[in-house]
Amino acid sequence: MLTDAPPRKANRAGFLESDRIRTLDVPDGGTLPVTAKAIDSAMKSAKSTDVRLACAMFLNAASEFYKVPTCGIRVLAARPLRVRESWSTELFGDYDPETMLIRVWMRTAVRKEVTSVGTFLSTLCHEFCHHLDFQRFGFHDSWHTRGFYERTAGLYHHVRGTPPKRLFWVPVRGGGGRWRIDWPRTNRSS
């Protein structure tokens, strides 16, 4: 995980705020974990219509909890190698703030293997957090800040029922204000 570099002038305040907000409230009940299990079962059946329905249940429940408009979902087979994208780090999904549509790919482009459920759910949480940046936090852009990754991780661990990890960051040398996860330290502490 690598953060974006801070923008120079425009939107800098939004970027810093995104970086600062490290936690995200999660629902008390098990609605999201239950829908995540439905996604898992649907992926095992490998039917993209079932996966789409389960994802839509998940996103409806999450949008209701965060009091944001529901985002659309499209589940696609293999990701085309050339696809226009707004964020360069996205491998398995993307989000369009104009149409509020999340697209996720069930298979990797090169080997055509089904994405693991962990990767798939982590992608879904990641794209949904882009949606929250615009619709809940009112940012004018959605950056990959330390806060963004930590909010995403909090949501992911909630839906999977796994204990959240504390993430440790180190500045990227010569990276213009970018950070990356210090994995040895992060793994040691959990």
| Least CB distance to Zn ion at residue 85 (A) | 9
Nearer Cβ to Zn ion (42/123): 123
| Least CB distance to Zn ion at residue 80 (A) | 18
**Closest residue to Zn ion in the complex (CB):** 87
Residue 6 corresponds to which amino acid? P
The token pair that represents 20 in the structure block: 């600062």
| Least CB distance to Zn ion at residue 24 (A) | 15
Nearer Cβ to Zn ion (50/96): 96
Sites of contact with Zn ion (CB under 5 A)? 87
User: Could you tell me if 56 and 73 are in contact, meaning their C-beta atoms sit under 8 angstroms apart?
Assistant: yes
Nearer Cβ to Zn ion (66/87): 87
Nearer Cβ to Zn ion (63/145): 145
**Residue 169's CB: how many other CB atoms inside 10 A?**
17
| Least CB distance to Zn ion at residue 90 (A) | 5
